[in-house]
Amino acid sequence: MHETFLRQAIQLAANNADSGEGGPYGAVIVKDNCIIAASANKVTSAIDPTAHAEIMAIRQACKHLNNFSLSGCVLYTSCEPCPMCLGAIYWARLDTVYYACNRYDAATAKFDDSFIYDDIILLPQHRRIPMHHINLPDAREPFDIWNQKADKIPY
């Protein structure tokens, strides 16, 4: 079954590359051996840099299940997830990820995320995009409110 679902993700990616609606990426999310979400990359057509195939499929799957947790689900993606998608995968709590191409294959097509992988391990003040911490006395207030809230929904 894994190869079947992965081939569907690859087909989404190929169709998307051919149509010009976005990058050459596709993703399928499966629960109990049934596809609950599928998407190709929509960055250019949605004019949204976060509209990667994995992110779009995660959004669809969450709506389908009416839940922000995708525990019990498997992601099949045409390529190794980028750092943004990897973060979303962890936040969504997907059980497993299967991918076809890797980040080095993507780099040969000019989709090179190595600068992000290199930057993410650095302290914020040493990253390529300047990040400046401003220590305000009331900055922790939202966290204090959250911690005291009895009816919060943890995620």
54 flagged as catalytic:
yes
Q: Tell me the residue ranges of DSSP E strands in 2-101.
A: 26-31, 34-40, 73-79, 96-101
In sign, the C-alpha dihedral spanning 96, 48, 107, 122 is negative
Question: Which is catalytic among the residues 3, 21, 54, 141?
Answer: 54
Report the alpha-carbon distance of residue 31 to residue 27 in Å, rounded.
14
Please answer whether residues 27 and 56 qualify as being in contact, where contact means their C-beta atoms are separated by less than 8 angstroms: yes
Looking at this protein, which amino acid is placed at residue 133? Answer: H
Please answer whether residues 99 and 80 qualify as being in contact, where contact means their C-beta atoms are separated by less than 8 angstroms: yes
Q: Which residues contact 82 (CB under 8 A, 6 or more apart)?
A: 52, 103, 113, 116
Active site residues: 54
